[in-house]
């Protein structure tokens, strides 16, 4: 539990770096299919990269212009971000509860090594966990 607290505190401290890093990662993931499509259609590599970057920058400028003209859009996106964070927290807690129920069920079924999900690779003669 202390490790989780330290990790969360570290991420919060480094949020000025981590946040833009994740934003850049999302932009790359979003734009990569265009680059791959251009390369599959034998567009020269340098031209494919330039076109992909132009599309990325144009999209970001269009989004910024739309946000400047529509302040309610910024509020809606802020609300969406908050709701997304809440969803991630709720689904994480739910996943933890499901994992605890799974471990309890494995104990009840007398599966060897239930804390690691049950060792189905364990030797039937030794009865020990090989993981």
Contact (Cβ atoms closer than 8 angstroms) between residue 35 and residue 49: yes
pLDDT digits (tens), the chain, 131 positions: 778 788 878 878 887 887 888 888 988 999 999 999 999 999 999 999 999 999 999 998 998 888 888 888 888 888 998 899 899 889 999 999 998 898 888 888 888 777 675 555 555 555 555 55
CA distance 62 to 32: 19
Tell me the pTM.
Answer: 0.51
Domain boundaries, the chain: 1-69, 71-121
């Amino acid at each position: 539990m202390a490790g989780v607290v330290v990790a969360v505190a570290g991420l919060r401290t480094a949020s000025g770096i981590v946040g833009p890093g994740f934003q850049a990662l999302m932009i790359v993931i979003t734009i990569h299919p265009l680059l791959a499509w251009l390369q599959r259609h034998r567009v020269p590599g340098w031209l494919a990269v330039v076109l992909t970057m132009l599309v990325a920058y144009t999209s970001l400028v269009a989004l910024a212009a739309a946000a400047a003209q529509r302040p309610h859009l910024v509020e809606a996106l802020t609300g969406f971000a908050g709701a997304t964070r809440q969803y991630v927290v709720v689904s994480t807690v739910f996943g933890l509860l499901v994992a605890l129920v799974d471990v309890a069920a494995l104990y009840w079924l007398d599966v060897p090594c239930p804390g690691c999900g049950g060792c189905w690779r364990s030797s039937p003669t030794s009865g020990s966990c090989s993981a």
